[in-house]
Structure 1
């Protein structure tokens, strides 16, 4: 979002209005979960463990807060978490097994893909495909784009529509993709960065 705000403000209207998954969970934790458990939202401190440092900036954005309370209070990277565990002498191999807690109800393994590059797009495509066709989307084959580092694309047929999608890994790879879109050499219906 920040990249588009600073470099391509004319494209702002094309960004998704959805919060990122970790921000959604933060908001749900401080509203639905707080009410369900009888906890004052001010007593809930949400920490996100994310692979990307950009999430630290994202969580500080004023539009991701309500009543002077951020949806996510702190973000640490997976590397920072590993460093913390090492400094604290915690070895995951020595931790006892524990059962999954489901404070918000049943869960599926689908959420696992959100943490991978292209995971949000894949989840959205699978849901949309099912809603349109009534069938499960078997496979999404993302292929490298020749000449563009860190960018993969695919075309998914959903009913009568061919959706052209791309996954861009890293903000530094966004510029070349946007240039191709602006000069008409490629067209995408959905891009995940």
Structure 2
């Protein structure tokens, strides 16, 4: 979001108003979960493990990140930082026993599982929209790599009577390609190449 605000503010009206998954969970943990378990949110310490260093900035970027009256996510570690900590602690992950996940907020869905992969948030949103519009289940979301670009995938999904064109840009350097394609279409009065873009 910071990158987009600084370098592509002309797209600001198109930003999602949703918080990121880490921010959503932090907010839920310090409001709903705290209330459910009768815990003072000030006594909870929320740590997120994320692949992106931008999440460190996000956790304190605005008042929206303090929905419980305290910071929703207290610390964001990168996956590399966590791996380093595990190694320094001498933990051998391959020999740890398997455990079932905690059900802190109730049951979870398959959509939650794919949130952590590139394009996962988009796929989860498309699956939800598809089911809402059609009443059915979306079989799959197929992406094609853009020739010459390792970090951009495109695709299309038919939702009811509408074709939804999508793109996923992995990493900020690949955002330029996607945004320039949209700008070019706008400048020529052509239909937009994408309805939904995930970065």
TM-score (normalised: structure 2): 0.92
The aligned residue for residue 23 of structure 1 is 23
Once the two structures are TM-superposed, the CA of residue 109 in structure 1 deviates from its matched residue by 3.3
C-alpha spacing 1:68/1:9, structure 2 compared with 1 (3 Å): same
Check the 8 A contact 2:27/2:67 in 1, yes or no.
no
5+ residue gaps, structure 1, are none
The aligned residue for residue 137 of structure 1 is 138
5+ residue gaps, structure 2, are none
The aligned residue for residue 41 of structure 1 is 41
1:191 aligns with 2:197: yes
Distance 1:82 1:148 in 2: 29
RMSD: 1.5
The aligned residue for residue 11 of structure 1 is 11
Post-superposition CA distance 1:102-147 (Å, at most 9, x none):
1211123331100000000000001111111111111111001124
Q: Secondary structure at the match of 2:166?
A: strand
The aligned residue for residue 98 of structure 1 is 99
Distance 1:18 1:189 in 2: 16
C-alpha spacing 1:68/1:133, structure 2 compared with 1 (3 Å): closer
TM-score (normalised: structure 1): 0.94
Q: Secondary structure at the match of 2:137?
A: coil
